A = this chain, B = another copy of it.
Amino acid sequence: MVTLADVARHAGVSASTVSYVLSGKRSISAPTRERIQHSIDALGYRPHAGARALASSRTDILALMMPLRTGLYVPVMMEIAMAVTTTARSHGYDVLLLTGEEGPEAVRRVEGSAIADAMIVMDVGLDDPRLPCLQEAERPAVFIGLPTETAQAADAAGLDCVDLDFAAAGARCVEHLAGLGHTGIAVLGEPPAVYERGTGFAARTLTGLRAAAGAHGVGLLHRPVDGTYAAVAAAVTRVFEERPGTTALVVQNEAAVEPLLALLRHQGRAVPEDVSVVAICPDQVAVHASVPLTAVAVPAQEMGRLAVERLVARLAGEQPRGTALIPPLLTARASTGPAAPAAPAGPAAPAGPAAPAAPAAPGGPRTEDRHGRGGR
């Protein structure tokens, strides 16, 4: 193994000079710097991570706590993880992946053994058990999600949080539909487990949906669903029985999207003529659905990137910047339209299969409806 001492000898300088060339914490004359750089390249030297960590108390590693619990949509998690690793690398950090259920214990492990400089905490719930440990901890942490009811509360607690403004996202969906004349909306939500767990984003979305529904005088039904065809079919069928006037659906459940669209086709309900559908999901899901969906995008990449950038800033000595709620962005696609003048009282007449809307040609002309900030 090539050590710093080897490089120093090869370049005919002292170890400290080599170290300073590497860290740039002291000015080195151009000739020596070049000579040293040459030796480094020639010998293929790489600083030993452990030694550096011991001497400097910095590991250049970020821990990513990503407990993958039931009901979570994996691709979104993965997209965040990718954005985290990519952004981290661009700042010189590596990422340690923690997926276990250990919770607070994992926090203490990272903290106590100095295995990482900072942490990104995902799948945050209200009263998250990791929160107290994290607040006592020396190392900075950034949450993806909100461990409190409101952004204000998070700020007050001195937390650094990054998330989509799910309340505004919910409101935005209702506004869009209300603007199209819909007065009966049903929400297909995350699986029950997600709500029971107190995972903030689902609750905040619901808050926003309800507030906007109230403000616009729109009726709102909410049904958590598992992402299976059977569960979706049961929920939707019940909704139309209970509220025949329902003309629009909001889906916040990636796994339920295709089952839902299949079901509507099977029931002979045309999208968007009979039923409008708005999703809250990553754009990729919305675009590739069997009907391109009007949707509020879940900006997974941006969340991961932002989280890392805040963490890097904190490691550079900055104070927490407080909560960053990303404003929702709704893109109108082929799944929403004006409310039908007279909503059918039940399933449409079984007059053959509804033609499935073919995915629109990529880049084709299409109404886009981009409003940055929703109500709230």
A44 contacts across to B, CB distance below 8 A? 112
CA separation between A46 and B89, bound complex, in Å?
27
CB-defined contacts of A94 to chain B, threshold 8 Å: 96, 98, 115
Give chain B residues whose Cβ lies under 8 Å from the Cβ of A229.
288, 290, 356, 358-359
Q: Which residues of B contact A109 (CB under 8 A)?
A: 46
Interface residues of A in 60-97 (CB under 8 A from B): 61, 64, 68, 74-75, 77-79, 81-82, 85-86, 89, 94-97
Q: Are A353 and B356 in contact (CB under 8 A)?
A: no
- Which residue from chain B places its CB closest to the CB of A358 in the assembled complex? B230
- Within the complex, the shortest CB–CB distance from A122 to chain B, in Å, comes to 13
**Closest chain B CB from A345 CB (angstroms):** 21
Check: A338 CB closer than 8 A to any chain B CB.
no
Complex contacts, A98 vs chain B, CB 8 Å: 85, 94
How far is it, in angstroms, between the C-alpha of A78 and the C-alpha of B81 when the chains are bound? 10
In whole angstroms, what is the CA distance A171 to B229 when docked?
31
Name the interface residues of A299-347: CB closer than 8 Å to any CB of B. Answer: none
| A97 and B97 contact, Cβ closer than 8 Å, known pairs A74-B78, A77-B78, A78-B74 | yes
Is the C-beta of A350 less than 8 angstroms from some C-beta in chain B? yes
A97/B64 contact (C-beta < 8 A), A50-B54, A74-B75 known: yes
Contact residues in B for A49 (Cβ distance below 8 Å): 50, 53, 59, 113-115
A350–B351 Cα distance when bound, in Å, is: 11
Given contacts A228-B359, A358-B233, contact A82 B53 (CB under 8 A): no
Q: Does A100 contact B (CB under 8 A)?
A: yes
Give CA–CA (A49, B112) in the complex, Å: 9
| Residue in B closest to A361 when the chains form the complex, CB atoms | B230
A48 to B, closest residue via Cβ? B114
Kindly state the separation between the CA atoms of A255 and B79 in the bound complex, as whole angstroms: 16
By a CB distance below 8 angstroms, the chain B residues around A45 are 112
Give the residues in chain B near A356, CB-CB below 8 Å.
229, 262, 266
The answer to whether B266 and A353 have CB atoms under 8 Å apart is: yes
A24 an interface residue at 8 Å Cβ cutoff?
no
A5-44 vs B, CB cutoff 8 Å, 1 = contact: the mask equals: 0000000000000000000000000000000000000001
| Complex Cα gap A97–B61 (Å) | 11
Is A47 an interface position by the 8 A CB rule? Answer: yes
Interface status of A103 (Cβ within 8 A of chain B): no
Q: Is A259 an interface residue when CB atoms closer than 8 A count as contact?
A: yes
Residues of B with C-beta under 8 A to A1: 114
Query: A89 — nearest CB in chain B belongs to which residue?
Result: B100
**Does A156 count as interface, using CB distance less than 8 angstroms?**
no
Q: Which residue of B lies closest to A76 (CB)?
A: B74
Among residues of B, the one whose C-beta sits closest to the C-beta of A45 is B112
Shortest beta-carbon distance, A363 to chain B, in Å?
13
Q: Which residue of chain B lies nearest to A77 when distances are taken between CB atoms in the complex?
A: B78
Are B99's CB and A81's CB within 8 A?
A: yes
Query: What are 15 A-to-B residue pairs whose CB atoms are below 8 Å?
Result: A1-B114, A2-B112, A44-B112, A49-B59, A68-B82, A74-B79, A75-B78, A78-B78, A86-B99, A96-B97, A259-B290, A265-B266, A266-B353, A350-B352, A352-B352
Apart from A50-B53, A262-B262, A265-B353, what are 11 other A-B pairs with CB-CB below 8 Å?
A46-B108, A49-B50, A49-B113, A74-B74, A85-B98, A95-B96, A97-B97, A228-B288, A230-B358, A233-B358, A258-B262
